[in-house]
Structure 1
Amino acid sequence: MSVKRFAVLLLKYGLLILALLVTTALSAVTTMRVVLTSQEVVVPSLVGKRVPDAGPLAARHRLQLRVEGRRHDPRMPAERVVAQEPPAGSTLKSQRSIRVWVSLGPRKITVPSVVGESARGGRLSLEQAEVPVGRVVEANDPSEEGTILMQHPAPGETETLGQEGASLLVSRGPGGRDYLMPDLIGRRAGQALDALRLAGLKVGEVRYRVYPGVPAGVVLRQEPAAGHRVSPRTALSLEISKEGP
């Protein structure tokens, strides 16, 4: 065999072997990629992490990071992951993405001053400022009934407004004691009315009706019922017997 023919054959078989090696290598790479992408990995916890730290942590678990959005959160500082999907501890195929939401920090709310306003007007002012009204407590005060005496939180910008909202202290007017409503049923109407008036209680309505077997002028019904706590601001009503036709 001539040297030239030998060189041609060597080149021909060399190229064939090289092609087989390249094909084998590509096949191995493709197979490895398929195997890696089909493997399931455990999702790490990213909540509370800063985004620059969360990305590398996800990469170490052969996962990617995708920021879905940003939102205010009263407990999580700004620029930290506040939520993730899927949750930590679940499994996910490698090279898939963990979706995260990043905190903007607590929402700053400007609380208006409502001290001195009526309870209705103050509530409206707070609601317009997107401040929910929580607990409302009444107390005796020389101020006009229904006037807001105190508020919490104080007027101004705040980040600490909780789910309970703003608390208000409202005047229920000057002085006045609370009483337990006495049992007036069966008593003479005159005695019952005198006792209520002496206690400073207001009788708002008196109704009369015929009740068989009961003489005229006897209390048949009362509102509120006996034992209920009443004050001078409570409107009372009585039903009293009258003579039949």
Structure 2
Amino acid sequence: MLERLFKLFIILIIIGIVFYFAFNIIMGALVHNKKEVVLPNVVGKSIYNAVEELSNAGFGLKKDGEELNQNVPAGVILRQNPSAGMSVREGKLVRVTISQGGEMIYVPNLVGQTVRSADISLRYSTLVMGEVSKKYSLKMGKGTVLSQDIAAGSSVDKDSVVNIIVSDGPPPEGVVLMPDFVNKNLEEAGIWAAHCGIALNIAGEKISGIRTNIVLRQLPEADTDVTDLESVSLWLSA
């Protein structure tokens, strides 16, 4: 009985060895039967276009990693391995490194800061202060940032330029600016309008939890020059 089991074990080993060598011979023949093709250049192309081009040429694609690159948009191939122009067999996997784009920076909120403070905030965030414009304002004191052309919290590239508008203080005599009436009572707006000779166009909106005659919206917005306007519009809680 043991002799039979031993012979069976030897036969199985021989069959396994024969199968192994036969498999390698067949696979080797299949590989060597594949023709060699010049590898296309996919560097600088989008991942979608690279997959399509390599597939049409008989190759596969494998992402080898990603890197931040200020000069190359996200999703574009930075490097490939093997290199373009090499003659390789069909079916080979081409490994690629993909750009993640530039380092993204969140824009700080500059409104309400002085120009110097805003400049420091931008430098700290690796951003650059651009044009500084001035505008008369009733809302903010002179030298205070009124607005910025890239909204706070926006995601931008490192070294992006942020322009600001700074308060030049209250307007001179003869220039009328629209006050900020939002969340204020209609009576206050009425006194201002009568003093400036400007009519109020009033509309009501039903808002639960808010007492009546409170300004919800206004047009034009605060600090707009209304010197030559005959009327402005207010939307009140009803």
TM-score, reference length from structure 1:
0.40
| Bigger radius of gyration among the two | 1
TM-score by length of 2: 0.41
